[in-house]
Structure 1
Amino acid sequence: MRADLEGVAGVKDRFKGPIIERRGQVHDGSTTDQRLLDSRGATDWVHTDPWRVMRIQAEFVEGFGALAELGPAIAVFGSARTAVDNPFYALAEEVGAKLARAGFAVITGGGPGAMEAANKGASEAGGASIGLGIELPFEAGLNAWVDKGINFRYFFARKTMFVKYSQGFVVLPGGVGTLDELFEALTLVQTQKVTSFPIVLLGSAYWSGLIDWLRDTVLAQGKISQDDVEMLQVTDDVDEAVAIMVAARENRWPTPAPERPE
């Protein structure tokens, strides 16, 4: 106890690990071990913030452990609502297959639609098909083409895995979730939190309105720079998208991973 508090009525130190409590912040006389080993009492503790921290830590540990040896990988994003007979489903499947043949693992959000198609293409091409799922009220787990999957409770833990283990993003038409992932990637590149990180938008008809708005409104008003707009590369050609990812990999690693046979 500090010397200037010695003898002050009611001042008593109580330590709970790294936490110190005094005066009105001293709540009870039990110890952490006692509460752990005493099985009696309510179960509200599983819903408290300190326990959530442990769950969050566990998600990072599981994610890092599962993906640490994955090798070069590309994240493919797109709408979960893309129907099997939609042309973009076939395009996503082609993307997954060609990325796998170029020696990349393919990481998606693990859901249906465009994500399922990219996983299917990668898996059938003999590549690593990875799904990073998220607990949602309207999606039922990972798609059947995910060969290694992790389900997350927390978006921020899941997003960390995408960014840490992907060397680029290929983005197909999608909604709010796809746009969230796209602009997060764009922000990380802009702020130099990640390096050698190409972002390719597949489907010029779908994305042209967004590019026009960024250029004609956001850039015109000085909210971003020309370099920010140029970070987004738009194409309708899957081979071009894969070539951009391969070129970025060669810049990052002098000896690229071998291509898979057709």
Structure 2
Amino acid sequence: MLPTPHHTSHDREIESLAEFDEVVSAGGSLAGFRVQAVDLTGRTRDLLAVDTTDAVFLGCPMEPEAAARVRLSGALVFPPVPDLPLDPYRGRLYSPAELFASLDAGYESTPDARAYAWFRRTRADGDIFASAMRALHDDSVSDAFDELLVGARVVGVMGGHATARGTEAYAGAARLGRALARSGLTVATGGGPGAMEAANLGAYAAPFDDGMLDEALRVLAAVPSFTPSVTDWARAAFEVRGRWPSGGPSVGVPTWFYGHEPPNAFAAHIAKYFANATREDGLLARANAGVVFLPGAAGTVQEIFDNATPNYYGSRGEPTPMVLVDRAHWTERFPAWELLKSLARERAMESRIALVDDVDDAPQALKHLGG
């Protein structure tokens, strides 16, 4: 389960109007604070009165009089950036409702699709300003991601995007996500379709009785894939969310680098990045309770060894558990297991890896390895 996001006095960050009001009323000073993506156009009186020495305002709309005053007092002001499809200074992770807003008009109208179109356009023309905005955005997302996960035991679930709704593989990934969430772990996936969506769906289903997941799987099976229509695929997910609101939380970590793959709507918190390398390393690094690898192809093979490398060298401390699911897949089709065993031999990670035949055995294997 996810703890409530919080901010310490040490980081001195303000990311909502409520936090701004609390700080101003409590101490009457913003000196040294970082105010991130908060609309302050209605707080001119406060900004004219309080100490803002060494404060930093990141993308905070404010009246010209207030902006001039805080600059004169020694604050650093990064103004909002006009004409972008996203806020590079954002202080929170995305929600499905935010990324899929305007879905009724078609997926192409959503903020997610518009951000991908902007990324493709600006990447192609080499615009350094756009590149800087993407980097700033991704750093803001990482900051929000870390704040969300303070105190959480996070298990990563990796698997192929091609796993279709309506298949046993998809249902198995959903049962896995449900079992992990019910055991108190925070499920984190790559945030896309296929096995990733299924695991997030399972975590969403965790608070409900078992019949809910069976029925949800039947609803989703009517639209097996995001091709040819992302719109229909996403609408089916929101139909499930509408029938069973207030599901369990989980995290999705997708990327606009693979923007042809939409994010799924079952992760309550979506850390979406432009830089795929930042996204993949960040997800694996935060999986402090281990990672379960479902059958997949090149991307999942890469993730296995991206995770194995710090476990091998101990660069992140004690090795974290790794559970590979489907013996035939990982010993015959893509024989990653033998190489992983060879790497682990006589290393601290040797006792933290496992191969299971069935997805339903993965939660117990993870627990046995210390996840």
The TM-score bracket by the shorter chain reads: 0.5 to 0.7
Change (3 A) 1:72 1:249: farther
The higher-RCO structure (CA 8 Å, 6+ apart) is: 1
Please identify, of 168-177 and 124-133, the stretch whose mean Cα deviation from structure 2 is larger: 124-133
Match of 1:207 in 2: 330
Aligned residue-pair number = 202
Q: Structure 1: how far apart are the matches of 2:252 and 2:324?
A: 20
| 2:328 counterpart letter in structure 1 | A
Deviation at 1:91, TM superposition (A): 1.3
Change (3 A) 1:125 1:178: same
Please identify, of 120-129 and 50-59, the stretch whose mean Cα deviation from structure 2 is larger: 50-59
Deviation at 1:144, TM superposition (A): 1.8
Deviation at 1:44, TM superposition (A): 4.8
Structure 1 residue ranges, 4+ long, deviating more than 3 angstroms after superposition: 50-56, 227-232, 237-240, 247-250
Which of the residues 307, 311, 316 maps onto 1:189? 311
**1:65-118 CA-partner distances (Å, limit 9, x unpaired):** 33335x111100111000123321111111101101111111011111101111
Match of 1:151 in 2: 272
Q: Superposition RMSD on alpha carbons, in Å?
A: 2.9
1:106-255 alignment to 2 at 5 Å? Answer: 106-126=187-207, 127-135=248-256, 136-140=258-262, 142-166=263-287, 167-194=289-316, 195-209=318-332, 210-211=335-336, 214=339, 219=342, 224=343, 226-227=345-346, 230=350, 232-249=353-370
Match of 1:63 in 2: 145
Residue identity (%): 30
1:43-122 alignment to 2 at 5 Å? Answer: 44-47=127-130, 53-69=135-151, 71-122=152-203
**1:176-216 CA-partner distances (Å, limit 9, x unpaired):** 1111111101111101123241110111111112157538x
Q: Which runs of 5+ in 2 are unaligned?
A: 1-77, 82-125, 208-247
Change (3 A) 1:55 1:214: same
**Structure whose alpha-carbon radius of gyration is higher:** 1
Change (3 A) 1:87 1:59: same
Q: Structure 2: how far apart are the matches of 1:137 and 1:164?
A: 23
Q: Structure 1: how far apart are the matches of 2:165 and 2:297?
A: 17
**1:34-77 CA-partner distances (Å, limit 9, x unpaired):** xx99x9xxx955145x65553443232232233335x1111001
Match of 2:114 in 1: none
| 2:303 counterpart letter in structure 1 | E
